[in-house]
Structure 1
Amino acid sequence: MDELSAHLQKIQRPAMVFLSALAIGWIVLPDYRPFCAGLFLGGLVSFINSRYLAMKVRQAADAAAGTGRKKMNLGFLTRASLAVLVVFFSLKSNQIHLISTIVGFFLMHLVTLLLGVAAMIQKTKK
């Protein structure tokens, strides 16, 4: 599971930079505050869900190795309910854009994709 930790560390840095840029954009660009807030909330949920899924995968690996609990799930209900909660919060608030919140849910997937493409390009150059 050391590869999983290394992969999460690679993904965590660009995601945090993007979330920080959105927070700065929310402060500096008052006209785009709803969009920045939506992307920030969606990205934050995406980040939390990826960390939670990694924790559950580690627990499942421990269970498969015989050192953890036998009954195991990947916490889909928890991750989905967190996303639904943020969508409801976005619907109730006039200061958070719903579509940008939903787009923000794919932040970690996008970061993973971009880092994978960059790794493939770097591998072909060698």
Structure 2
Amino acid sequence: MNEIPSYIYWLTRTTFGFLALCFLSVAILPDYRSIAFGLIVGSAVSFVNTKYLARKVQKMTDEAASGTGKRFKGLGFAQRAAFSIGAVVLAVEFPQVFEIHALAGSLVFAPFALVVIGFILSRREKKLDSDNERGEKNA
């Protein structure tokens, strides 16, 4: 019933595939290097933030399920926000290397990818459940 590891698995594969395409575009299209580097940094920060949030949520649910009674101290929003702001500051300081619009746009890569991954995995699970039915009708 715990979907977080499978979501993170597919998010990792999706992110690394996207990063590979971005690195390939750096090699093939030198005129668009700053855009590709912005996409690389933004999607990497987005992936790390999402993975960190997933780890914190998993830890919180494990503690709630075990009933240890520890008070949870939040989901680490400040750390994730600081990481994203650091990436934007990097793009502002080095505009010749990183395109700020590409970086800012790709900071939401992982959440949007998770929506698509969740949709695909839920459709696959529904199909597997319907394949397991025996086809008998209730009369």
TM-score > 0.5 by shorter chain? yes
Higher helix share: 1
Structure 1 position 17 matched with structure 2 position 21: no
Instruction: Write the deviation string for residues 18-44 of structure 1: whole angstroms up to 9, x where unpaired.
Output: 011111211221100000000110000
* CA distance, structure 2, for counterparts of residue 77 and residue 116 of structure 1: 26
Structure 2 gaps, min length 5: 131-139
**What corresponds to 2:84 in structure 1?**
83
Match for 1:103 among 96, 100, 105? 105
Aligned partner of 2:74: which letter? N
* CA distance, structure 2, for counterparts of residue 47 and residue 68 of structure 1: 30
SS at the partner of 2:75? coil
**What corresponds to 1:34 in structure 2?**
34
Alpha-carbon contact 1:62-1:68 (below 8 Å) kept:
no
Alpha-carbon contact 2:26-2:37 (below 8 Å) kept:
yes
TM superposition shift of 1:120: 5.8
Instruction: Write the deviation string for residues 57-78 of structure 1: whole angstroms up to 9, x where unpaired.
Output: 1121133233474232100000
Aligned partner of 1:86: which letter? A
Q: TM-score, normalised by structure 2?
A: 0.79
* CA distance, structure 1, for counterparts of residue 71 and residue 117 of structure 2: 34
* CA distance, structure 2, for counterparts of residue 89 and residue 68 of structure 1: 41
Alpha-carbon contact 2:7-2:118 (below 8 Å) kept:
no
Aligned residue pairs total: 126
* CA distance, structure 1, for counterparts of residue 112 and residue 56 of structure 2: 21
Tell which deviates more after alignment, 31-40 or 6-15: 6-15
* CA distance, structure 1, for counterparts of residue 100 and residue 28 of structure 2: 21
